Amino acid sequence: MLQISDDITLQDWELTESFMRASGPGGQNVNKVSSAVELRFEAERSPHLPGPVKTRLRRIAGRRWTKDGAVILQCDETRSQVRNREIIRERLADLIRQALVKPKRRIATKPTRGSVERRIKAKKTRASVKSLRGRVDGE
């Protein structure tokens, strides 16, 4: 069980962990021990996540979201399988917490009259400067 927030808890059947050999430092240990962790979360089938949260999670997850609606995360940062499991579960929890935050709606505003006038005045000044750069007709 993975606690995300006060009202959202993921059950074990929604999470699948698989272990593989990691690359990187570790000497001969790398060739013997499967310390890298791949965590698969069945987000689309999860009854604990509301629809809008799933939509935001799909956007946040990006290429980690599969066609069948699962989020796949990998971790091989440490030489310890237990530590990698902790890291990857915390990453998933952070990802879902980000998806829980509802984005603020942007309220369209009109520019003030003064700012419009200042902009037009600046454009006219600039245009007059540029018009003086032209060729001088000499006699």
φ/ψ of 116, rounded to 5, equals: -65, -45
Which tens digit of pLDDT belongs to each residue from 49-78?
888 888 998 999 889 899 988 899 988 888
| Strand ranges across the sheet with 15-20 | 15-20, 36-41, 71-75
Which tens digit of pLDDT belongs to each residue from 83-101?
988 999 899 989 988 988 9
What is the SS3 assignment for 9?
strand
Determine the Cα–Cα distance for residues 42 and 14; give it in Å rounded to an integer: 5
Domain ranges across the chain: 2-100
Residue 22 pLDDT class (50, 70, 90 cuts): confident
Between 2 and 94, residue with greater pLDDT: 94
Looking at residue 114, its pLDDT comes to 97
**DSSP per-residue letters across 68-96:** TS-EEEEE-SSS-HHHHHHHHHHHHHHHH
Residue 129 pLDDT class (50, 70, 90 cuts): very high
Determine the Cα–Cα distance for residues 49 and 96; give it in Å rounded to an integer: 9
Determine the Cα–Cα distance for residues 53 and 137; give it in Å rounded to an integer: 68
pTM as predicted: 0.69
Structural domain 2-100, CATH architecture? 2-Layer Sandwich (3.30)
In this predicted structure, the answer to whether residue 139 has a pLDDT above a threshold of 70 is no
Looking at residue 26, its pLDDT comes to 63
Determine the Cα–Cα distance for residues 41 and 88; give it in Å rounded to an integer: 11
Tokens representing 136 are 């001088």
Residue 33 pLDDT class (50, 70, 90 cuts): confident
